[in-house]
Amino acid sequence: MKRILLLSILVIAASGCGINKQAQQMKALEKCTYRITSADEISVGGTDVKKLFAGDDLNIASLPGIAFGLLRKDVPLKARLNLEVKNPTTEGASINQ
């Protein structure tokens, strides 16, 4: 019984150290600076922004989907953002999955 209790305490202590390290690494992410380098595949209300603005003109055929989303108060914005992240500290900043 004592061995099981001791083993359980050791396992909990070992996993606690790993969780603490992950928390410190995530905390270091707050100190990082983020800059958007590019944005691709941008869609508003399911409509591709490139198709919405064809050249300098507004494509009116794409507006009903956005108008319907505004009426429902649900206009999803979807995009792929490429970020530049700089860590000014010497601490490791990461997210473990």
Confidence class for position 48, pLDDT limits 50, 70, 90 = confident
Q: CA triplet 51, 41, 75: central angle to 5 degrees? A: 75
Q: Residue 35: which of 85, 94, 89, 95 has the closest Cα? A: 85
**pLDDT over 90 at 37, yes or no:** yes
Tell me the domain boundaries of the chain.
1-31, 32-88
pTM for this prediction:
0.50
Distance of CA 25 to the CA centre of its chain: 16
78 within 8 A of 47, measured Cβ to Cβ = no
Q: Residue 97: what pLDDT?
A: 56
φ and ψ of 32, to 5 deg: -75, 155
52 within 8 A of 62, measured Cβ to Cβ = yes
